[in-house]
Structures are given as structure tokens and as C-alpha cells.
């Protein structure tokens, strides 16, 4: 049981650091739209689908799926940033951000799952 917690913790640490690093680099040059979070969440959706499709063993799912991707992707930041767009009257960006995040995210999760089942 302790090893499972350690796997989730290590994965979570690496996922959070990765998200922070990517977000900082992608959001600075274009502060009017949260490209970093958008990219991270779409990549995370694909990777989680891939991990599921590959039928990884429980330790790998804990490390990669629960730990790394759980901390890498960020549902709360998605909603906070979309609310900031809405509050500032940027309705088109608000609707685009939410709509594309969910639509493309679900699509990429299915693609990742398919790739995982087909190639692994």
C-alpha cells in the first residue's frame, strides 16, 4: 500500500512540475488566451487514453495515470481561466476555449485509447 502512495506522489510531483513549466512558457508570450492550459489538457487527454488502451499494469497506471496525468492536467485551472475570459467580456474566446477543450479532449482520449489498443 505504501508503494502505491509513493508511485502516485512521484508521478504527481513530476506532472505538476511539467504542467507549471509548460504553462509558464506558453502563456507568457500570449497572455490573452490560456494556450498553455489548453495544450496541457489536450495532451493529457490523449496520454490518458493511450495509457488506458495499452492496459498498463496497476503500478504504471498509478504512476502515469493517477499521479503524473492527474497533476499534469488541470480541470480547475481550465474553469478558472474560462471564467476570467467570461468576466472580461471575451465571450467568443470563452466559448471557444470551453467547447474546444471538451470536444477535442474527448476526441483525443478516444484516439489515444485506440492507438494504445492497436499498437501495444
- Annotated binding residues for Na(+): 70, 73
Residue closest to 8 by CA, chosen among 54, 55, 45, 62: 62
Cell numbers for 31: 497572455
CA–CA gap between residue 76 and residue 79 (Å, rounded):
5
The grid cell for 38 is 489548453
Known binding-site positions: 70, 73
Amino acid at each position: 500500500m505504501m508503494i502505491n502512495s509513493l508511485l502516485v506522489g512521484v508521478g504527481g510531483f513530476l506532472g505538476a512540475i511539467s504542467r507549471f513549466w509548460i504553462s509558464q512558457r506558453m502563456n507568457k508570450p500570449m497572455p490573452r488566451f490560456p494556450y498553455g492550459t489548453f495544450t496541457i489538457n489536450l495532451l493529457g487527454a490523449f496520454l490518458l487514453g493511450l495509457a488506458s488502451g495499452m492496459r498498463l499494469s496497476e503500478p504504471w497506471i498509478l504512476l502515469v495515470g493517477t499521479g503524473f496525468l492527474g497533476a499534469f492536467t488541470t480541470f480547475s485551472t481550465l474553469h478558472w481561466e474560462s471564467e476570467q475570459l467570461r468576466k472580461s467580456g471575451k465571450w467568443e474566446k470563452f466559448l471557444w476555449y470551453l467547447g474546444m477543450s471538451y470536444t477535442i479532449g474527448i476526441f483525443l482520449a478516444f484516439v489515444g485509447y485506440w492507438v494504445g489498443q492497436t499498437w501495444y
